Structure 1
Amino acid sequence: MSTHLDKIDLHIIRLLQKDGRITNLQLSTEVGLSPAPTLERVRKLENNGYIKSYHANVNEEALGFGIKTFIQITVNLNLPDSRNNFIRKISEIDEVVECYHVTGESDFLLKVIVRDMHAFEVLVLEKFSKIEEINHQASMMVISTVKKNAVLPMDAG
């Protein structure tokens, strides 16, 4: 990702973050270029790793996923290769949709999405309990989402 991004590249990224299904014609109109150079810029952004992929933003609740939880995890550093073993094991659990290695009192922050409390219980008691690298965990249930923005703050200083 050594390519320098100009204002048009940043504008393209901003627009694609808001609507990944925008047509190349609409995109070219928005950025003030003809379709061919716009498509070329999008391809360069993809090839240089600035745009990693395109996804549908689905409604978790409409699909029956009613419980969203953040879980702080502290790993047992006395076990050999505990961090890497934890990462490998947690990566195999589908309900863990995001995992961050963080600073502070915990080592990792997980974002977990499950259908209901029973599914959360199964996750904690049957899956997490088998991960010996977990020394401590603390769960925070999401009551409601106040702000969720998939668009990076490109204009923020």
Structure 2
Amino acid sequence: MKANFKIDKTDRKILKILQTNGKITNAKLSEEVGLSPAPTLERVKKLEQAGIIKSYHAELNAEMLGLGVNTFVQVSLKGHNKQNIDSFLSRIEKIDEVVECHHITGSGDFILKVMARDIASYQLLMLEQVSDIDVVDSLQSMVILSTFKNNKEIPLPQVN
């Protein structure tokens, strides 16, 4: 992605609309931003090529799919070196229930977001997969009781 890519007010409008409705047709998008379809599509393609628009996704209802337990897990490694980090990441990458993995500062090394069917399957996952990673020193689980804000839209910088 180009860090110096300049977005104008029209690009900003396009990005805001696409964040809320990735399935919008180009005709409807062009109507909402006040351009004809060809220039609108050209702008979207430029935003994609610049890496500002990374992908389009369907947001699924985890609860309806039977994934009722969501947790954050703080992970501390036995040593904070490249070999341990690479080893940890290669194993975590293979665990589908780990939907996010962030390298962090502070008392832990990583924070994971984990989705599981229920507490029993979560416990099994932690015991048989995550804590079984040889470089893991400790885990601290935080079960998500309720989510009050889960905004998929990122704030867009103001245009001068």
1:50-89 matches, within 5 Å, as 50-77=52-79, 81-89=83-91
Name structure 2 gaps, 5 residues minimum.
none
Q: Residue type matched to 2:13 in 1?
A: H
Give distance in 2, aligned partners of 1:106 and 1:48: 34
TM-score by length of 2: 0.93
Counterpart residue number, 2:145: 143
Q: Residue type matched to 1:11 in 2?
A: K
Name the Cα RMSD after superposition.
1.7
Give distance in 2, aligned partners of 1:78 and 1:18: 39
TM-score by length of 1: 0.94
Give distance in 2, aligned partners of 1:87 and 1:127: 13
- Of residues 25, 30, 33, the one that matches 1:31 is 33
Counterpart residue number, 1:129: 131
8 Å CA contact retained: 1:97, 1:113: yes
Counterpart residue number, 2:18: 16
Counterpart residue number, 2:113: 111
- SS of 1:130's equivalent? coil
Give distance in 1, aligned partners of 2:155 and 2:118: 33
Give distance in 2, aligned partners of 1:116 and 1:147: 22
Give distance in 2, aligned partners of 1:99 and 1:11: 31
- SS of 2:75's equivalent? strand
How far does the alpha carbon of each residue in 1:82-138 deviate from its partner, in whole angstroms, 9 at most, with x for none? 111111111111000000001111110000001111210110111013201111110
Structure 1 segments (4+ residues) deviating >6 Å: none
Give distance in 1, aligned partners of 2:92 and 2:104: 15
- Of residues 46, 61, 71, the one that matches 2:48 is 46
Give distance in 1, aligned partners of 2:154 and 2:9: 15
Once the two structures are TM-superposed, the CA of residue 139 in structure 1 deviates from its matched residue by: 0.2
Name structure 1 gaps, 5 residues minimum.
none
Alignment size in residue pairs: 157
- SS of 2:107's equivalent? coil
8 Å CA contact retained: 1:96, 1:113: yes
Q: Mark the CA change 1:137 to 1:31 in structure 2 (over 3 Å): closer, same or farther.
A: same
